[in-house]
Structure 1
Amino acid sequence: MKTTQKFKHKKVLVLGLAKSGVSAASLLHKLEAFVTVNDRKPFSENPEAQGLLQQGIKVICGSHPIELLDEGFDYIVKNPGIPYDNPLVKGAAAKGIPVLTEVELAYLVSEAPFIGITGTNGKTTTTTLVFEMLNKGGKLPLIAGNIGTVASEVAQEAKEENNIVIELSSFQLMGIESFRPKISIFINLYEAHLDYHGSIEDYAKAKANITVNQTEADFLVINADQPELEELLSFSKAEKIYFSTKMVLEKGASIINGAIYYNNEKIMDTDSIALPGKHNLENILCAVIAAKVSGVGNEEIEEVLKTFTGVKHRTQFVRSLNGRSFYNDSKATNVLAAKSALEAFEQPTILLAGGLDRGNSFDELIPYMENVKALITFGETASKLMKTAERAGIQTVKHVDNVEAAVPAAYTISEEGDVILLSPACASWDQYRTFEVRGDIFIDEVHKLK
C-alpha cells in the first residue's frame, strides 16, 4: 500500500457507512487523518459504527446534523448513494470543502494500475469477463467496486504486479479528483438515474469522469455504435479504441462474418460463446479489447468465452425442470435492461416483472414482447405492466403479491420448451431491500418446485 500524506492530520468527515464507508473510515484512520463518521442509522442499531468507535474513531449517528460543517473539515468522503442535494453535501460545496468517494481513496493508496468499467448496462458482466480473461492470462487481476468487493480494501492489498478491475457507477465517478485508470471502458449510455442526477447531461458528464485524468499513455474503450459518446469523450487524452456490434472496424473489436475480430485478427466464432444474449456481445467486445491491450493471448480469451455463462442475477441460468428453463435477471432494474433480456430468447417466454414505481411507462417493452406468452406481475408497477401486456396482445396476464408467489404461478401455466424469466424492469425497493435479495428469493423458489 502506498502511504499518501494527503490526509495526514487533516479533518475528514465520512458521510454514510455501509461497506464502503466503513472501509474508507478505517483507511483514513490508518493514514493519520482525524476522522469523524456520520450515519443516519441510530448507534444502537449500527454495528458498523460501533466497530469504528472501538478503533478510536469519532462517531455521530441518528441524523445528518448540518452543524457538523462548523467543525472545519478539510475533506468529506461521501457514500455514493447519498445525493448531492443532501444539506451536508450542499453545505460542504458552498464552503469549498472537497467531496470525494471511496474510489478516490483506493486510487491514492494502490500500487496496482486500474482497469475501470462504466456504462448504463453491462458493467458487472464486463468487469467479470475482464477479470476472468486477465486471470486466465496470468495477469494477477483483483476485482473491486459495485461487484461486491470494496475498492479501498482491495487497493490496500494490491501490489505492482496486480491489475485492479473495477466497476464504476456515475455516483462514484462524481467524487474523484485524481483517479486515473490505465484502461477505461465506456460500454454504453442510456437515460438512467435521473432522480439522482436531474438530467441526462449531468448523468453523462458524471460517467465521463472515468477518463478525465487519463493521459496519452492510457487507453479509452468506446462504443462506436453510439456516436454521441465520441462527442462526450472528445476531451480525453487517452488513446481511443472502438468496438461495434453493427459495423466492421479495421481497428478495434467488431463482429465479422459471425466471428469476433480485434484489429483484423480473428479471435473466435460467436457460435462458440457460452454467454447468452445479443446484448452481451457489447460486453464481450469490451473485455476482449482490455484483455488484448493487457497482453492476454487469443487462446486464453477463447477459453473464457467458451465457458463463462454469466454473472448471478444477470440473465443467470438457474435450472431446467420438466423442459422449462428458468433464468434470473433480477438486475434488470430498468426497461432497457429488460429489453435486452427479452431479446436474448427466441423460445416462448413467461415474464415475471414488476417493482418500484418511478413514474415511467413500460410501452417501450412492447416491440420486444413478441415471444412473451404470459406475464406474471407484482409490486407497485403491476397495474402499469398489465396494461402494457394488454397493448402487446398477451393473452395470459396474472397479478400476484410477490416473487415468491410468481414462481409457482408461472410454472403452473408453463409448458415444455418455455423459458421462465425474472426480468423485473423495475428497482426492488418497494418489496425487497436489494435486487440481489429479490433474485435470491427467485432462485430459492425455483429450487422448491417439484
Structure 2
Amino acid sequence: MKTLKNFPYQHVLVLGLAKSGQAAAQLLYDSHISFAINDKQPFEHNETAQYFAELGVEVVTGDHPLSVLDGVDLVVKNPGIPHQHVIVAEAEKQGVPVVTEVELAYLLIDGPLVAITGTNGKTTTTTLVHRILDEAGLNPLLAGNIGVVASEVVREQKPSQPVVMELSSFQLKAIHQFKPDIAVLLNITEAHLDYHQTLEDYVNSKFRLVERQTADDFVVYNHDDSTIASKQEWLQATPVPFSVTHSMDYGVTCFDGDIYIGQERLMAERDVALPGDHNLENVLASIAVASQFNVPHSVIESVLKQFTGVKHRLQFVKSVDGRLVYNDSKATNILATTKAIQSFSNPIVLIAGGLDRGVAFDELIAQFDGVKYCVVYGESAQKIAHSAYEHDYHNVTICDNIDDATNEAYLQSEVGDVILLSPACASWDQFKTFEDRGDMFIDVVHKL
C-alpha cells in the first residue's frame, strides 16, 4: 500500500473528520508524518477521533481554537468546510497552504489521471467513462466526489492503471499541484453560492482543474457552454471539444441523428440507452475521454447501448397505475431540474423543494410549459410557490415532506403522466444526503 514519500511539510492539521478527513489522517499516519486533528464533533461521540487519539495523534474536538495552527505548515480540510471558516481563514492569512484530500491523493498517483467536473452530469459521466475503460480491459479505478475517497483508492493503484476521478468545486478550490492528464469540463452554471459567495469564485474554482495543464495534457470541454467558451484562454492543454449543436472536424459531435468522433461516424443517437437530452452531453464527453485511450469504437458503442444511468439521476423507479415515476434527487440546482423537465414529452407532475440556498426560482418556473402540476415541500416550498404565483402559475400544492409530496403528486397525476422528483434544491433541510432523499422517495413510491 502506497505512502507519501519526500513529503515537503513538517506538521499537518487535518480539519474535519468526515470520510476524506479520516482517509487523509490515515495516510499521514501510515506515512509517519506529524499531524494533528481538529473536528467539531465532541470527543465522547467521535469514534474516529478516539481511534486516532489511541494511536497517539493530537486531537482537538468540539471547538476550533486558533492554537491548533501552532507549528502547522499545511492544512488538509474537509471539502465542505468553507474558506470563511475561522481556522481556514486564519491559515490563509498566515500564508499556510490549505488543500483538500485529493491533493494528497495526487502525490500518490502513478498512471493516467482523468478528472471530471461540471455543475451537472459529473457522476453520470465519471461512471460512464469508468465503465467504458473497464470494458476495454484497462482496469480503471474510480475515485473522488463520486463517493470513494481518492487517497484511499490510489494507495492501491498499480503502475499505469488509470484513475477516473469526479471533482467538485469544493475540492478544486483548495488544490495547488493537482494536474490531470485528461481534464473534463462538462458545464458551468450558477450553483453553490452559499459556499462560494460569488459566481466568479465558483467559476474560478472549477477552472483550477486546468490551470496547471500543459500542451502534453488534454482538456475535454463543452463547446456549447458559454461560460467555458468565455474562458478559452485558461485552456493550455490540447483541446478535445464536444458539441450537440455544432459539426466539427475534430472532437466529438452529434448532428443529423448520428454521433461522430472527428469525422468518423460512431453510432446513431437513438441507440444510446441513457435517457434524457441533457445526458447526450455526458455521453459525448465520455466518448471523447475514451478516444484518448484509443478504446475501440465497438467497445464504446457496446457500452453506450447498455448503460442506462446512475441511481438518483433521472432514475426510472416504476410504473404506478399508468404513471411513470422518476427519481432525480441528484438535481440539486435549477439547471439540473430544467434539463430533467426537458427530457420528457409526457405531462409532468413535478416534486421540488429542499434547502433554501438563496437562489430565485424564476428561471425554473419559466420551464413549466410541460409541468401540469408542481408539488413543493421543505424549507424552500413557500419561495418556489411564490415564484410560481408571480408568473401566473397556480397549479401548486405545498407539503411538509417527501412522503406527503409524493402522495399529493400521485393524486394530481393521470394515466400517461410522469411523476418526477427533481428538487432543484439541496437535501440538507430534511436529509443528510440527496441519496437519503431519493431512497425515501423510492420507498414511498413502492407504497403507493
Q: TM-score, normalised by structure 1?
A: 0.96
2:24 equivalent to 1:36? no
Rounded to whole Å, the distance in 2 between the matches of 1:217 and 1:9 is 29
- Map Cα deviations across residues 50-83 of structure 1 (whole Å, 9 max, x no partner): 22223332211101111212x2112110111111
1:204 corresponds to which residue? 203
Rounded to whole Å, the distance in 2 between the matches of 1:94 and 1:391 is 45
- Map Cα deviations across residues 122-175 of structure 1 (whole Å, 9 max, x no partner): 111111110111111111111111111000000101112321111111111122
- Map Cα deviations across residues 168-196 of structure 1 (whole Å, 9 max, x no partner): 11111122222111100011111112222
Uncovered stretches (5+) of structure 2, i.e. residues with no partner: none
Rounded to whole Å, the distance in 1 between the matches of 2:238 and 2:408 is 52
Rounded to whole Å, the distance in 1 between the matches of 2:230 and 2:412 is 49
1:51 corresponds to which residue? 51
2:105 corresponds to which residue? 106
SS of structure 1 residue aligned to 2:209 = helix
The CA deviation at 1:101 is 0.8
The CA deviation at 1:395 is 5.3
2:145 corresponds to which residue? 146
The CA deviation at 1:421 is 0.3
Q: Compared with structure 1, are the counterparts of its residues 203 and 8 closer, same or farther at alpha carbon in structure 2 (3 Å cutoff)?
A: closer
Q: Compared with structure 1, are the counterparts of its residues 389 and 9 closer, same or farther at alpha carbon in structure 2 (3 Å cutoff)?
A: closer
Uncovered stretches (5+) of structure 1, i.e. residues with no partner: none
| Contact in 2 for aligned 1:22/1:52 (Cα 8 Å) | no
Q: Compared with structure 1, are the counterparts of its residues 418 and 87 closer, same or farther at alpha carbon in structure 2 (3 Å cutoff)?
A: same
Rounded to whole Å, the distance in 1 between the matches of 2:88 and 2:360 is 32
Rounded to whole Å, the distance in 2 between the matches of 1:46 and 1:253 is 49
Rounded to whole Å, the distance in 2 between the matches of 1:331 and 1:273 is 21
| Contact in 1 for aligned 2:246/2:253 (Cα 8 Å) | yes
2:60 corresponds to which residue? 60
SS of structure 1 residue aligned to 2:208 = helix
SS of structure 2 residue aligned to 1:211 = coil
The CA deviation at 1:246 is 1.1
Q: TM-score, normalised by structure 2?
A: 0.96
| Contact in 1 for aligned 2:2/2:156 (Cα 8 Å) | no
2:415 equivalent to 1:403? no
2:434 corresponds to which residue? 435
Report how many aligned residue pairs link the two structures: 448
| Contact in 1 for aligned 2:182/2:219 (Cα 8 Å) | yes
Name the stretch that deviates more: 346-355 or 108-117: 108-117
Rounded to whole Å, the distance in 2 between the matches of 1:228 and 1:175 is 21
The CA deviation at 1:7 is 3.3
Rounded to whole Å, the distance in 1 between the matches of 2:153 and 2:183 is 18
Rounded to whole Å, the distance in 2 between the matches of 1:235 and 1:350 is 42
1:346 corresponds to which residue? 345
Q: Which runs of at least 4 in structure 1 moved beyond 4 Å after TM superposition? A: 391-395
The CA deviation at 1:391 is 5.1
Rounded to whole Å, the distance in 2 between the matches of 1:133 and 1:157 is 21
The CA deviation at 1:233 is 4.3
Q: Compared with structure 1, are the counterparts of its residues 394 and 197 closer, same or farther at alpha carbon in structure 2 (3 Å cutoff)?
A: closer
| Contact in 2 for aligned 1:352/1:421 (Cα 8 Å) | yes
Alignment of structure 1 residues 8-407 onto 2, 5 Å: 10-69=10-69, 71-390=70-389, 394=393, 396-407=395-406
Q: Compared with structure 1, are the counterparts of its residues 437 and 386 closer, same or farther at alpha carbon in structure 2 (3 Å cutoff)?
A: same
| Contact in 1 for aligned 2:9/2:73 (Cα 8 Å) | no
Q: Compared with structure 1, are the counterparts of its residues 389 and 8 closer, same or farther at alpha carbon in structure 2 (3 Å cutoff)?
A: closer
| Contact in 2 for aligned 1:112/1:155 (Cα 8 Å) | no
